[in-house]
Amino acid sequence: MGFGFWLASAASILLSRVGDGVAAVWLASAVAFVMLVRRERRTGILDYAALAVATLVSNLQFGSSLTSGLLYVVFNLGQTALALLLVDKFAGGLPVKARPSVRTFALILFLTGVVADSVTGLIFASFTYAAHGWPIFKTAWTFLSSNALGYALVLPLLLYGSKPALVLLAEPRALLRLMLVAASCVGLAYLALTYSRFPFALTMLPLMVFAPRLASLELALVCFLTGVACVAIAMTGLMPGLHSGIEVLSDGFQVSVAIIVSTPFLVGLSIEQMREDHARLAELETRWNFALVSAGQGVWDADIRNNKVQYSTIWKNLLGYEESELGNDPELWLKHVHPDDLDRVIAADLDHMQGKVPVYEVEFRMRHKSGRWIWMLDRGKAVAREPDGRVARAIGSMTDITERKEAEERLLVSATLLADEKERLRVMLQSIGDAVIGTDAENRITFMNPVAEKLTGATSIAALGKPLGFVYRAVDEESGRRLDEPHLADNRLERAEQNSRAVLVRSDGTRFSIRQVVSPILNENNEFGGSVIVFQDFTDARTLQRQLAHAATHDALTGLANRPSFIRTVEDLVAKSRRDASRYQLMFIDLDHFKPVNDTSGHAAGDALLRKVASAIKGALAPADIVARLGGDEFAVVLMSASHGVGEAAAIAILEAVSALEFIWDGQMHRVSSSIGLTQICAECGEANEIIAKADAACYAAKAAGRNCAFVALPGLSGNGVATPMTRVATGT
C-alpha cells in the first residue's frame, strides 16, 4: 500500500507541482482512499504510518523542505481519514463492496472529492496563510480542484476494476475496440479543446455517446485517458486563451475536467445498472413462472369490481380439465367444492374480504373431472381495496395436497400404533431393576423410571422437561470430570459409552458410586436425537474394589506403602529423573534393638511398636515425602527434595523421633533406635536396584558404626555398584 501511494504521489508532484506549492493534479489521496476502503479490516495506525512515510519521502525526494513535507503529511492523512469517516457514516459503512450502485458511487465521489477536500482545503489554506502568507482562496481552490480531479479519475478505475473484468478486457477484440474508442475520444477532445468555442461540452459529447455501449471498467478507462489527455493538451499550451505549462491548472481547469469525466461515467453506470436490473427482473419472472409450473400451483386472479375471474391453465389442469374445457365463471370454483366443506370455505373467504384475517387460506375438497374428490390448499390475498374498504382485486394460488392428506391419514394410523408401543415400553422400563433416564436432542429429560427417582432423589413430575444436570450429576471418581455434559450437551455421543468409575452426586450432597451406560438415540439419518442413561448403585462393589486395591499396595500393619509399591515408585522416579533431570533422596531405615521386644514381650508388642515407629517417621517428614515399610523392622523413605541439608535434617528428625519413643508393654519399658542409610536418586545414579543397594549399604554402615546414626553413600562407585566410602551425617541423641 505504501509503495502504491508513493508512486501516485511522485507522479502527481513530478507532473503538476512547482516548488513547495500544492500539486495541481493529486492522485495519491484517491489511491490511498480506495486501498483502505476496500479492506475487510478497519484502518489502523500502521496503515496511516505507511501513508505518512510515503508522503514524506515523495515530497522530500522532489525538492520539498522538511517542514513542507511534514505539513503535506498531516493534511493528506487528514483528508484521507475524513473521507473514510464520511463514507463510513453516510455511504453505507466500510468496507465498500466491489461495484457499488450508481447512487453509492455518486455519494462517495461527492463526500470524498467535494466535502472532504473542501473542509481539508480550507483548513490547509488558513494554516499556510498564517505560516507562509499564501492566498487563502487560491490555495484552498487549488487543493480542492487537484484532489477532485484525482478522485474523478481514480475512483471509477479502482472501484469497478476486477480480475474477471481485466481478463475479458484482455481479449484481442475487446482490447482493440477499447483502443479505438479511447483514441476517438482523445482525438475529439483535442479538436474540441483547440478549435471549438464550446470545448468542454464537445469533449464530453463522445463520452456520453459511448457511455451506454461500454462496460463500467471500459468506460472508466476511456474517461481516465480522456481526462489525462485534457490535462496534457492544456499544459502544452494548445488551448486558446489559456496559459501554457503548469499555470493552466491554477484557475480550476481540473474541476472542468473532473466534470467531463465523471458525468459520462455516472450516466453509463446508471444505464448499465438499469440493464442489469431489467435482466434480473426478467430472470426472476422466468424463475417464478417456472416455479409455479414445477410446483403445480394454479393461479387465480379475481377482479371483484368487474365481477371477472381469470383461472390459469394449471388451475384447470389440477381439476383434470384442459384450458378450453372450462371458462372463467366467477362461481366456477364454488361449484366444484365438496358440499361438506362449502360453508367453511365461504366463511374463510368472507373473513378475509372483511379484513378479519390478513391472508385467505383454507384446505378443502374439490371434484375432479374423473369424479373423485381431491384435496386443495387455496391461498389468496386482497391486493386492492375500494375507498370504503371493500376488496377490489384479489390474487391467489391453488395447490393439490391430496398426497399430503393421504400421508397424514397414514401418519395418524402409525401414530396410534406408535403410542401403543410406547406405552408398552414405558411399562417395561418402569418394571426393571435398573435406573433409566431418557433425554431429547437438547439434553432435556423425557423419562425417568422409579429406580432413577429413588437414586437421584427427584420425582418424574419435577424432572420432565428439565436439563439432565438438574437431577443427574455424574462425575468421574478419579478426575472429577462431569460425565453428564461433555458428550450429551454438544450432541457428540455416537455410540454407547460405559463407565464403572462414576459417582452420582445428589442435590443434597449424597454421593453414590454407580456404573452407567449412556447410549445415543440416532434417527434414520444417523443424527443425534437424544440418549438413554442406564445406571445401577455400585457403592458396595466399589468400596470392596478400593479395599482390595489399597491392600495390594499398602502394608496391612502400618498402612504405609508396601515393598512392591515402593520399588515401583523408585523406578518411576528414576525414569522421571532421566526425562527432566530432577533429583530426589532415598533413605533406608533399620530399627535397632527391635528383636528383644519380640523375644521378651511377643509379636503383638512388636506389631504395636512398629505402628508407633511408622507414625513417628511420618511425623518427622514433609507431607510430600513417601514412607514405606519394606518388611520386618525395615522402613524406607523417598525425600522429594534433593538438598543435602534437607536430607540431613530429615535423618536427624527421624533418629530423634524414634529414639524418643517410650513403648511400655505389660509394664515393661522398651526403647529402640534406628540406623539410616541415605543416597541420591538421579539420572546418573544408576538403575533403581543399584540405588536401593547403595542406600542399603549405607544403612549397614550406620549399624556397623554403632547404630543410632545416619550414613550417606557418596557418589563414588565400587566395582559391584555400591557407593563407597560412607560418610556419617547424623547421630541420634
Do the domain assignments include residue 139?
yes
Same domain, 55 and 140: yes
Q: Mark which of 400, 423, 446 sits at the end of a domain.
A: 400
| Domain closes at, from 249, 271, 295 | 295
Residue 478 half-sphere exposure toward CB, CA atoms < 13 A: 5
Domain-located, residue 413: no
Residue 64 grid cell: 520539498
The CATH number covering residue 11 comes to: 1.10.1760
Judgement on whether residues 313 and 333 belong to the same structural domain of the protein: yes
Q: Are 466 and 535 members of one domain?
A: yes
193, part of any domain: yes
C-alpha angle 454-502-447 in degrees, rounded to nearest 5: 40
Last residue of a domain, one of 139, 160, 181: 160
Would you put residue 526 in left (φ > 0), alpha (ψ -120 to 50) or beta? left
Tell whether 545 is covered by a domain. no
Check whether residue 13 and residue 112 sit in a common domain: yes
In the Cβ-directed half-sphere of 625, how many Cα atoms lie within 13 Å? Answer: 23
Note whether 119 and 152 are same-domain residues: yes
In angstroms, rounded to a whole number, what is the distance separating the alpha carbons of residues 609 and 625? 22
**Domain identity same for 142 and 169:** no
Q: Residue 627, SS3?
A: strand
Active site annotation includes 351: no
Exposure letters 98-132 (e unless 16+ CB within 10 A, then b): ebbebebbbbbbebbbbebbbbbbbbbbebbeeee
pLDDT along the chain (733 residues), means of 10: 67 58 74 81 77 77 74 84 89 81 90 90 87 84 86 90 86 92 92 87 92 91 92 79 60 84 93 89 74 75 89 89 88 91 92 90 93 93 89 90 89 84 76 85 89 88 88 81 58 60 82 85 83 84 76 86 92 93 94 88 89 93 93 93 90 92 87 93 91 93 91 64 55 62
Grid coordinates representing 524 are 434414520
Q: The domain spanning residue 658 has which CATH number?
A: 3.30.70.270
Q: What CATH number corresponds to the domain at position 496?
A: 3.30.450.20
286 and 308 housed in the same domain? no
Both 712 and 697 in one domain: the answer is yes
146 and 227 inside one domain: no
Structural domain includes residue 419: no
Write out 449-505 in H/E/C secondary structure. CHHHHHHHCCCHHHHCCCEHHHCCCEEECCCCCECCCCCCCCCCCCCCEEEEEEEEE
Q: List, in sequence order, every residue forming a beta bridge with 528; answer none if it has no partner.
A: 522
Q: Supply the pLDDT for residue 638.
A: 95
**Parallel, antiparallel or unpaired: strands 435-440 and 511-522:** unpaired
Claim to verify: residue 191 and residue 291 sit in the same structural domain: yes
In a domain, 240, yes or no: yes
544 belongs to a structural domain: no
117, 378, 484, 633: the catalytic one is: 633
Domain assignment of residue 396, yes or no: yes
Scan for cell 512392591, then name that residue.
564
- Domain extent, residue 325, equals 296-400
372 and 457, same domain (yes or no): no
Domain match, 44 and 119 both:
yes
Q: Exposure of 89 by Cβ count < 10 A (0-12 exposed, 13-18 middle, 19+ buried)? A: exposed
- DSSP per residue, 256-314: HHHHHHHHHHHHHHHHHHHHHHHHHHHHHHHHHHHHHHHHT-EEEEEETTTTEEEE-HH
What's the total number of domains in the chain? 5
